Amino acid sequence: MYNPKSKDANEFIDNNEVIESIEEAKKLVNDAQYIEKILEKAETCKGLTHREAAVLLELEDDAALEKIYKSAKKIKEKIYGNRIVLFAPLYLSNYCVNNCKYCAYKCSNKIGRTQLSQEQLKEEVRALEALGHKRLLLEAGEDDEKCPIDYVVDCIKTIYAEKFKNGSIRRVNVDIAATTAENYVKLKEVGIGTYLLFQETYHKPTYEKVHAGPKKNYEWHTEAMDRAMLDGKIDDVGIGVLYGLYDYKYDTIAMLMHAEHLEAAAGVGPHTISFPRLLPAEGVDYKSFPYLVKDRDFKKLAAVTRLAVPYTGMILTTRENAEFRRELLDIGFSQMSAGSSVGVGGYSDTAKKVHEGLEEKPQFNLADHRKPMDVIKGLVKDGYIPSYCTACYREGRTGDRFMPLAKSGQIGNFCLPNALLTFEEYLKDYADEELKVMGKELIDREIQNIPDARRREKALSYLERIRSGDRDLRF
């Protein structure tokens, strides 16, 4: 029985409710007036119910899809402006006790296994800092013996403790397996930013089919965010579907139901939604997955998500190629990874690549191989402001303190100046001559768009201070 407030995964992601939503949507999709009404509602930034979103997911004709894309872009610009926040994943360990069919780290794969020592981690962090990164996403396979929570906690402490000429890593987000309430408390105590855990698929029979090992427990996995938020007191969580495992309509509707559940049960919805898409990887029989998502459908489902949860950050991964990423940014994504390595020790190359005679392999094959500076140049050319901002987390604007700011439309007043300040830092510390010229032009232009005169003045004075050597100034 569908109940968004229930703590039982089978009730807040009720299979019948998802199926009924799809069936109802098939009947309503030809009602042009109703579609208009949904789009009008979306443009007021009130969000959509999963049933309304289901109707938009049924749309197929180009003209209707164009309308959705336009609305998605408008909403993103209204709430967050044209900044794109950048981050990098950092792999700690590829030991894993699970045997997920879609992942190169599955335990049946004969690949070299390794884990960063604290010294190797420092090397990685130095290499990432030298690329300009301030916000990291830690990744690790599930292995309570080889990669226990205390190891992850030590890694977070090591990262925050590293200080460089140009600053430090300012926000550490964590993507590790579903765990206990006690372990979430440990992550909270050590100051994680967002806790991310992808559902992979909400379709229980498929979920159980593609998983083996502790991760196969659907309820334990799907209820993890409740433990993280309600028991672990983690303010910000990030969810996501691995598109390609099951029908994208089913999974998108269920993901929106998950967001509705978190809002109902924890008082605040997901801070971010990521959109990984199944990719070829070592030992993965990619072609055997019958639900691979086409670009056109992927773009549609992302835009519909933007309309449905306007205040949630949307994360684009380097799984998409550069050209398609550009198209996707236009329909509402607000964060992206840049210059990613998806292997252990991939940035500094200090970790050995062969372990016990076996070669290490990346978790999946990347599609965007550009260096961060090239990603940034691409963003600037397309009129976006690259941002290394981490201000909200550090100013305590998280969880239920963040959402009112986003919902009242005020967050843009923070995002724009903070994006410009962190971009100015990047220009001073890392950029080549070409980017310095492009960046100055962009900052001079965009600073005039800060609506509040006092805030604009303050931002201008902060910019001057950064140019004279100050760092980490923020709103």
Distance of closest approach, residue 278 Cβ to ligand SF4, in angstroms: 11
- Rounded to whole angstroms, how far apart are CA atoms 61 and 331? 17
Per-residue binder mask for ligand SF4 (CB under 6 A), 208-247, x = binder: -------x--------------------------------
Distance of closest approach, residue 51 Cβ to ligand SF4, in angstroms: 29
Distance of closest approach, residue 87 Cβ to ligand SF4, in angstroms: 11
Q: Which stretch binds ligand SF4 (CB under 6 A): 37-45, 97-105, 256-264, 274-282?
A: 97-105
Nearest alpha-carbon partner for 316 in 302, 304, 333, 300: 333
Distance of closest approach, residue 85 Cβ to ligand SF4, in angstroms: 5
Taking the least distance from each CB to ligand SF4, the nearer of 39 and 281 is 281
Residue listed under structure tokens 């940034």: 376
Instruction: Kindly state whether residue 106 participates in binding ligand SF4, applying the rule CB under 6 A.
Output: yes
Distance of closest approach, residue 414 Cβ to ligand SF4, in angstroms: 4
- Sign, CA dihedral 381-419-323-332, equals negative
From candidates 48, 375, 376, 411, binder to ligand SF4 by CB under 6 A = 411
Distance of closest approach, residue 364 Cβ to ligand SF4, in angstroms: 9
Distance of closest approach, residue 100 Cβ to ligand SF4, in angstroms: 3
Nearest alpha-carbon partner for 120 in 341, 339, 346, 342: 346
Nearest alpha-carbon partner for 125 in 310, 326, 346: 346
Contacts of 422 (CB under 8 A, 6+ apart): 134, 387, 388, 389
Instruction: Kindly state whether residue 418 participates in binding ligand SF4, applying the rule CB under 6 A.
Output: yes
From candidates 391, 421, 459, 473, binder to ligand SF4 by CB under 6 A = 391
Instruction: Kindly state whether residue 387 participates in binding ligand SF4, applying the rule CB under 6 A.
Output: yes
Q: Which stretch binds ligand SF4 (CB under 6 A): 99-107, 219-227, 429-437, 439-447?
A: 99-107
From candidates 85, 116, 225, 450, binder to ligand SF4 by CB under 6 A = 85
Cα 132 to Cα 75, 137, 169, 432, 447: the distances in Å are 29, 15, 9, 12, 22
Distance of closest approach, residue 311 Cβ to ligand SF4, in angstroms: 10
Taking the least distance from each CB to ligand SF4, the nearer of 68 and 376 is 376
List 358's β-bridge partners, or say none.
Answer: 355
Check: CB of residue 421 under 8 Å from CB of residue 466: yes
Instruction: Kindly state whether residue 103 participates in binding ligand SF4, applying the rule CB under 6 A.
Output: yes
Nearest alpha-carbon partner for 340 in 363, 312, 360: 363
From candidates 22, 96, 187, 259, binder to ligand SF4 by CB under 6 A = 96
From candidates 59, 389, 421, 466, binder to ligand SF4 by CB under 6 A = 389
Q: Which stretch binds ligand SF4 (CB under 6 A): 37-45, 93-101, 278-286, 324-332?
A: 93-101
Q: Give phi and psi for 277, each to the nearest 5.
A: -120, 140
End-to-end CA distance of the chain: 45
Instruction: Kindly state whether residue 169 participates in binding ligand SF4, applying the rule CB under 6 A.
Output: no
Q: How many residues does the chain have?
A: 475
Instruction: Kindly state whether residue 113 participates in binding ligand SF4, applying the rule CB under 6 A.
Output: no
From candidates 58, 129, 142, 175, binder to ligand SF4 by CB under 6 A = 142
Q: Write the single-letter amino acid at 192.
A: I
Distance of closest approach, residue 415 Cβ to ligand SF4, in angstroms: 3
Per-residue binder mask for ligand SF4 (CB under 6 A), 311-340, x = binder: ------------------------------
Question: What is the total count of residues that contact ligand SF4 (CB under 6 A)?
Answer: 20
Site residues, ligand SF4 (CB under 6 A): 85, 96, 98, 100, 103, 105-106, 141-142, 177, 215, 387, 389-392, 411, 414-415, 418
